[in-house]
Amino acid sequence: MKKLFLKHDHFLPSLLSLAPSFDTATRTHAIDAYHQHQASSSFSNSSVKKERDLGDDQEVVLERVSSRVVSDEDEDGSPRKKLRLTKQQSSILEHNFKQHTTLNTKQKQALAEQLNLRPRQVEVWFQNRRARTKLKQTEVDCELLNKCYETLTEENKRLQKELQELKALKLTAPYYMQLPAAAGTLTMCPRCERVVNVGENPSTAAFSLEQKSQFFSHFTTHPSATCYANFL
């Protein structure tokens, strides 16, 4: 049992330049495995399994560090530079992605032919595109949550301050003389359970004597800043 470990990014050139210590059959097995890869549209786990099952008496293990190379090679055997999709290819892919974010085999094949790419490349592009979309959405969500957090923190601060004021107010009657400034605050009376957006209408900032009187009678029984708003 022979084990052949190949730790190269570009494993066909490695195979072709295998040390003479490996016999022809071994090299042939390894090269066959390479061609199996090339024929495969997907570099999935299954293809790895195939690599590891090449013969009865000889086991050629292609230990890939990276297999990106499989067809990323020029005819002269030198590593091909990383593919950059053209603007036209990208826009067509984008257009298709807008229509459906996943592709079935036929769609993938057709798109690959249209773009003069391998189906695997189209597949990878869609996978990466979905990942980018998800990442962007996560960033947007994160930003939104941060804003919510900031708003709630501010609201909390304001309410805490309001609470302090009310506590102080409670000690210094009469209430109607020191109405809390709670503009723009959503508050609820714990007794009558009415929610009011305090200060929604700036025109109500000024109290009439009658309003103050009403407020006073209510507030003495319901000592809450919320109830102050009920009289606006």
Query: Site residues (CB under 7 A) for DNA?
Result: 9, 41-46, 48-50, 64-70, 72, 79, 81-85, 90, 102-103, 105, 120-121, 123-132, 134
Q: Cβ of residue 80: shortest distance to DNA, in angstroms?
A: 8
φ/ψ of residue 50, rounded to 5: -60, -40
Q: Cβ of residue 115: shortest distance to DNA, in angstroms?
A: 11
> Would you say 46 or 151 has its CB closer to DNA?
46
> Would you say 122 or 227 has its CB closer to DNA?
122
Q: Cβ of residue 22: shortest distance to DNA, in angstroms?
A: 21
Q: Cβ of residue 146: shortest distance to DNA, in angstroms?
A: 19
Q: Cβ of residue 194: shortest distance to DNA, in angstroms?
A: 44
CA distance linking residue 120 with residue 144, whole number of Å = 36
In the chain, count of helices (H) and strands (E)?
8, 2
Q: How far from 98 is each of 55, 81, 91, CA to CA, in Å?
A: 46, 29, 10
**Segment holding 8, helix H or strand E:** none
DSSP letter (8 states) at residue 80 = P
> Would you say 103 or 196 has its CB closer to DNA?
103
CA distance linking residue 150 with residue 15, whole number of Å = 60
> Would you say 3 or 132 has its CB closer to DNA?
132
Residue 32, amino acid = D
> Would you say 9 or 165 has its CB closer to DNA?
9
